[in-house]
Structure 1
Amino acid sequence: MSGAYRPPDDKGSTLPSVPTRQRSRQACLPCRRRKRKCDGQLPCNICKGYDYECEYDETSQTIPQKRKNQPIQSSSQSKARPTNKVQSGDGSRQDAGASILPGVLEPSKARYVGRYSSIAFPLYVGLEVQATNLPRLHSFAYHTGIREEPPCAVQSEVTDHLSWNDARSLIDVYSTTIHPVFCFIDTDLFYKRCEDHWHGRSQGIVFEAMVCGTIALASLFKELIDHESEMWLILHAKKILEDSDISRFPSFEQLAAWILRTLYLRCTGRPHVTWIASCTIMHLVEAIGLHNAPESTIQTGGSDAPISETSYTMNRVAQVANCLHILIAFEYGRTILPINRRVLEHIDHTNRGTDLTPQLCRLVTTLPTNQHVGDTTLLSQDLFLALEKIAEIAIDHDFLVLLRTDLVLGIYRRLRVLDSKFQHGHYENIISAGLVALPAARRLVSKNEPWWNVVGAVFQFVCTLLVIDTPASCEALANTMDTLEFVVRNLDTHLAREALLTARQLVHASLHKKRKGIEMLERAVGTEAPEAAPSQTANQLAQDMASLSPLLAAQLPFDLDLLWNTDFQLPL
């Protein structure tokens, strides 16, 4: 995260005029089918907004070139020339830019609203009537105003509860353990601002929430402070983030603090609460306007950039937020918020030392988030394709290895619900992904890095092996249970012991089921003894098979696994 948030001078802040829209000489094919107004660009605004595949009729004489960024006119230019209009299909008249620009951003408050919002409408009215003083982006008449808003109820206190030496040590832990995977903070600048904050140069109350989240997460991995102090940090950050006076102005610091809180909840909290927090970070991404391209957003404050973050940092924060939300929702089986996934489309693969976030993003982008409502065949195809792609991603961190296993098992659960037809190779991919995770879980526990999936990935793999129920899955079960016992023995927590007990119960239930099946088979062949001697069983099998064709008897013993992918067809 870069420097402190400093609002610019609001004097002279006006909304720029909307670029002139010329009537399109040709509409793209998706807009023709949906009878939408097309701006004739490639991609057009409609397709870009709805993630359609924008294409034009190849027989046309002119096919538009890719859209180039167009500078937004200044407010003085907008006053000198009236805003152009276009006639809509229903006879109404609309702003020319209404079909081009998706929303309005007020940089001084880092607040984004859609162009159809009641908050933005007075601005467009001011442009329409060519007002000298344009209305500001404000919630005019949002309610009756019969009650005053409560003041901020939180004070800056972290420096009184934690010494700088302890804070500095925990920041170092965060930088070496959590930051490489979720790299969205400028750690050098963050460290400097923390030092200033502890030495009397306050960095603001929202920054303090960010500090609390960082230190509390680091405390999970190396307990340099007691649990009571850690809990105070979490509750203090919660009070700051949920204060109505503070949350009025969304900022990058606020988004970063919510990401840190969501990570902490994923490591320590309940699934529903964690999912709610992940939804909050996505709402903040939209509130700040990170889900849209900067060139497609009207800014009310001229050319001065109110936020000192670079475009790389802004996109990275949005990427981490989006990835975290998708991971939590995908695992929990909850809705993935349909925020524009543009932030995940352009992932920087540049080698930046220990930065592993691009690997995290590549894992997440393999997941099909489109639901294909009513078409389970297409959804199954997308899931099978994702299962194959995810195995090809190079991983350089044990936590990401476990995370890949989580995603593979999540894909398997969805395919199983869809009653998809698995091939033998699909089971091999699933079992291979789980087996690779076992040593990774052992290493993380041995290093005292309790990532949230060191128990969960191994436990879910046990459940998956029992359901797959093939010779290969049964063979992998012993090593998986040994790893689960190793992890639980080292952690020695209630949730870990509960998972191990449940896994043992499921394995015993599966064993009981198989024994019942064996008893039924024994009764079917007339074997009354609980166990037949190996020599007697082999002799009986040889005698029975000798009565069959000599060719089949000569092939004994044969491997039944050879018949796994064999198609049998009965004669008509």
Structure 2
Amino acid sequence: MESSKRKRARKACQPCRERKRKCDGDEPCTTCTEWEYDCYYEDRTRRKSRATRQPSPEFQTTKQSPGQTGSGPSPVESDHCQLVRRMEANSGAAFVRKLGLKIDPAKAPKLNLFGWNIGARKLSSPLDTGPALSIFEITSWEHFKGLAVVYFDKVDPCYGFIEQSFFFERLNERWRSSPAPQMYDGVICGVAALGCLFSQRSATATELHLVHTARARLEMHHLTGPPCLDLLTGWTLRSTYLRMTDSPYSTWMASSTLMHLIEASGLHPEKHHDSVLPPPVECDQYARPDIQRRLVGVAHHLNVWSSYDLGLSRVSFRTDDLPLPPSPKLGDYTGEVLGLLPVSVRMDPGKVKDETDLEPTLLKLLDGSHTEPPSVMAQCNLVLCILRRIHTQNLDISPKLAEKVLVLLKKALGCARSMVMDCSPWHQVANVPFQIVCVLLVMDTRSSLAMLPEAIQTLNLVASTYDTETMREACSAAYLLVLLHQQRRKDDVAIFGEALNNHQRERPMDISQELSPSAEEYSWLGALVADLPGLQRVDLDQFLNADMIDGSFMGGAGENFPSEGRRDL
């Protein structure tokens, strides 16, 4: 009899204890190995001996959190686990990896930021850029002017940190000056490179030379004092271009450098006049305080999200104050994008945050007004991050709120398609559709899964328009996730079918007859309907005799019988 009893591990590891999972007691245990947890065991003997000691006075006054018990993890371990969990929730790569492991650990996609942007712009044959060219050697003044018009038409309304009239005045002056390299060449080439990106679907030699020259002018500058505004503007343009075309690590490095330069410049945090510290950099008369704050805000925006996606630290100042909102300007929606910064910064994994506050924050974001496609995509990106945090914390949202989420996701997919057709390859045009596919699979309801074809179609449109290795990998990963989810559902349906077949073999009778109410039950329900006026219009016969086996019973297995890999948001 003793051998027939279920054997249990004498001591479970800490991750299994926290997640209430079965542990086999090995080091590492099977559960942690499959789910890639950091398996460790807490030394109970040492903790018990510590608990018997008389606590010191400073610890006697410390209050214990309501959820903390003697058998739980230590505060340091608990804080570390929470930090790691928040970092994984903010990172789109970690979220996708864990989603794949939950469906099928053997075939899950590798850890990668799929669809982080459209990918690197390359020529059909490699271009030997060599030494940086002078701007006079790259292209003509008329071409520079045309590319700048594209920039101020498509990019500047969303990231408006350059005064348009001042730029064209400086461009004209530069063409009348000597061909020797100047610092403002980095700004001119940065604007022109983004103009190429937003006007041509394929890379050109001119675009690559512009990017190479802009980088050379920025990196050749030797700082002997606070950096000038031209240098800050050039680095902001470079970070913007990298965010749309280059790797996450290159972008994070560039955006972090930009943030350190901003701090060194004294533009932010804004110092008081009576401070003995060096004054802010002397700026041109055209660079109004509003332009400076816009530049700081865009730099914050780029650094925050590149650090979140990679799970790395963002650059924060001592006071960590955000710049003031930009002044409204006709045709400009930079304020809408930068208005998301306060919520974005509060999502920092290192900040202690009440996760129960996520739902009100989500509702407030969904009710926000965003008019243009790039702004809507920025809003949707933040909403997707909050949804990942909610899912990681095993929290639920109301059906009404889930409906509003799906409305925004559908709107974002439409914006992505319109931006592709308009040749506006913002980074979110690839990132948001891919993350929407993942979130729809996690929501796992009929309403969310019904949106999957549109999400996949949008991702395919981006990949067919910008045929890069990055987009091909994103499409392959999305297909794999949907395929694994489908196979999981087929396996579940087979299990249900087997259960019903066994029932039919053991008790061969009509299931509908078994489920039909008896005369006594029918009489009791009829009396209940008569007593409740709100139910008097219900067709009792139709309600009781509905075919529970067909349609919603088997076809809706995902809603009525969630699979093991499902977790509703």
- Which residue does 1:104 correspond to in 2? none
- Residue 40 of structure 2 aligns with which residue? none
Structure 2 residue identity aligned to 1:250: P
1:418 to 379, 386, 393: 393
**Partner of 2:334 in structure 1?**
357
Amino acid corresponding to residue 363 of structure 1 in structure 2: L
Amino acid at match of 1:339: F
Are residues 1:544 and 2:521 paired? Answer: no
Instruction: Classify 1:205/1:341 alpha carbon distance in 2 versus 1 (closer, same or farther; 3 Å).
Output: farther
| Equivalent residue for 1:163, pick from 106, 124, 140 | 140
Q: Is the 8 A contact 1:441 1:454 kept in 2?
A: yes
Alpha-carbon distance change, 390 to 302 in structure 1, aligned in 2, over 3 angstroms: closer
Answer yes or no: is the 8 Å Cα contact 2:202–2:466 preserved in 1: no
Aligned match for 2:466, one of 481, 487, 491 = 491
Return the letter of the residue paired with 2:168: Y
Residues in 1 aligned to 2:397 and 2:208: alpha-carbon distance in whole angstroms: 46
Q: Does the C-alpha gap of structure 1 residues 172 and 271 become closer, same or farther in structure 2, counting only changes over 3 Å? A: same
Q: Distance in 2 between matches of 1:371 and 1:400?
A: 21
Whether the aligned pair in 1 keeps the contact of 2:136 and 2:179 (CA below 8 Å) is no
Alignment-mate amino acid for residue 546 of structure 1: P
Aligned partner of 1:403 in structure 2 is 378
Secondary structure at 1:432's aligned position in 2?
A: helix
CA 1:325–1:543: 2 relative to 1, 3 Å: same
Report the AA paired with residue 418 of structure 1.
Answer: Q
- In structure 1, C-alpha distance between the alignment counterparts of 2:199 and 2:188, rounded to whole Å: 16
Q: Deviations over 1:477-505 (max 9, x none)?
A: 12222222233233333322222222122
Tell me the secondary structure at the aligned position of residue 298 of structure 1. Answer: coil
Measure, in 1, the Cα distance between the counterparts of 2:183 and 2:380: 36
1:493 and 1:332 map into 2 onto residues whose CA distance is 21
Structure 2 counterpart of 1:431, from 393, 406, 422: 406
Q: Is residue 389 of structure 1 aligned with residue 360 of structure 2?
A: no
Deviation readout 1:422-444 (Å, 9 max, x if unpaired): 33344334322211111111111
TM-superposed deviation, 1:335: 2.1
1:193–1:203 contact (8 Å) kept in structure 2: no
Per-residue CA deviation, residues 354-390 of structure 1 (Å, 9 max, x unaligned), is 1111001112222253658695xx4313433331221
Indicate conservation of the 8 Å contact 2:242/2:250, yes or no: yes
Q: How far 1:512 sits from its partner (Å)?
A: 0.8
Question: Post-superposition shift, 1:197?
Answer: 0.6
Q: Does 1:502 align with 2:477?
A: yes
Question: Structure 1 residues 221, 345: CA separation in 2 closer, same or farther (over 3 Å shift)?
Answer: closer
Distance 2:199 2:279 in 1: 47
Paired position in structure 1 for 2:98 = none
Alignment partner for residue 457 of structure 1, among 413, 422, 432?
432
Tell me the amino acid that sits aligned with residue 216 of structure 1. A
The superposition leaves residues 14-42 of structure 1 with CA deviations (integer Å, 9 ceiling, x where unpaired) of xxxxxxxxxxxxxxxxxxxxxxxxxxxxx
User: CA contact under 8 A between 1:156 and 1:208: conserved in structure 2?
Assistant: no
| DSSP 3-state at the match of 1:261 | helix
Instruction: Decide which of 205, 209, 230 is 1:228's aligned counterpart.
Output: 205
After superposition, give the CA deviation of every residue in 1:38-79 in whole Å (9 maximum; x if it has no partner).
Answer: xxxxxxxxxxxxxxxxxxxxxxxxxxxxxxxxxxxxxxxxxx
Per the alignment, residue 184 of structure 1 pairs with 161
- C-alpha offsets along residues 265-315 of structure 1, whole Å, 9 cap, x if unaligned? 111111111111111111111111122234256367899966533222222
Residues 1:258 and 2:235 aligned together: yes
Once the 2 structures are TM-superposed, how far is the Cα of residue 203 of structure 1 from its aligned partner?
Answer: 9.8
1:328 counterpart = 2:306: yes
Tell me, yes or no, if the aligned pair for 2:297 and 2:322 is still in contact at 8 Å.
yes
Q: Deviations over 1:335-368 (max 9, x none)?
A: 2222267763521353x11111100111222225
State the partner residue of 1:132.
Answer: none
Name the CA shift for 1:168/1:373 in 2 (closer, same or farther; >3 Å).
Answer: closer
* TM-superposed deviation, 1:187: 0.9
- 1:173 lines up with 2:150 in the alignment: yes
Q: Does 1:474 align with 2:449?
A: yes
CA–CA separation in structure 1 for the residues paired with 2:208 and 2:424: 19
User: Partner letter of residue 514 of structure 1?
Assistant: R
1:367–1:383: 8 Å Cα contact kept in structure 2? Answer: no
Decide whether aligned partners of structure 1 residues 300 and 249 sit closer, same or farther in structure 2, where only a CA change above 3 A counts: closer
Amino acid at match of 2:251: T
Q: Flag structure 1 segments of 5+ consecutive residues without an equivalent.
A: 1-153, 530-535, 565-572
Is this contact kept in 2: 1:197–1:203, CA < 8 A?
no
Aligned partner of 2:383: which letter? V
2:450 partner SS: helix
Mark the CA change 1:353 to 1:247 in structure 2 (over 3 Å): closer, same or farther.
farther
SS at match of 1:179: coil
Which has the bigger relative contact order, CA under 8 A and spacing at least 6?
2
Unaligned runs of 5+ in 2: 1-130, 527-539, 561-569
Going from structure 1 to structure 2, the CA distance change for 1:311 and 1:228 (only over 3 Å counts) comes to same
Shift of the 481–545 alpha-carbon distance from structure 1 to 2, 3 Å rule, reads farther
Q: CA deviation at 1:418?
A: 2.9
1:86-105 alignment runs, 5 A limit? none
Residue 313 (structure 1) aligns with: 291
Structure 1 CA distance, aligned partners of 2:279 and 2:157? 36
Conserved? CA contact 2:380–2:409, under 8 Å: yes
The equivalent residue for 1:298 is: 275
Count of residues in correspondence between the two structures: 401
2:218 and 2:235 in contact (8 A); partners too:
yes
TM-score (norm 2): 0.63
Change in 2 beyond 3 A, CA 1:302/1:238? closer
Q: CA deviation at 1:165?
A: 1.2
